[in-house]
Amino acid sequence: MTEPDYACREIVVVPPGGVVFDDAGKLQQIRDFLARSFPDFTFVVGSNEGMRGPGFSLYPVLGVAGDDKVSRMVGAPAKSMRRIAEALRDAFEDGWARLQ
């Protein structure tokens, strides 16, 4: 019997520091943009002040519980993470101009 293929499908996104990213409506725009652009992933967009830096930070959720209730670690989706980071940078490089 082969092991099921577990892949990371949830990513925590922390926006850069700054007042433009403090607005709940703006955070929802990020969620909507990511959901449209990357429908195979689930995104949790937060604004934890202690984690915010000069750019977007992405944290893949790598621990999962299988159907058999056994915890497993999954691999980070390196290529997808790069594409997501580039899309965020491109969409928000001029503030919110490209989304409005």
Chain mean position to CA 69: 25
15/47 Cα distance (integer angstroms):
6
pLDDT 10s digits, 2-39: 334 457 788 899 888 777 788 888 889 999 999 999 99
Reply yes or no on whether the pLDDT at 94 is more than 80.
Answer: no
Q: Tokens 């977007």, residue?
A: 56
Domains in the chain, CATH or no CATH each? 10-92 (3.30.910)
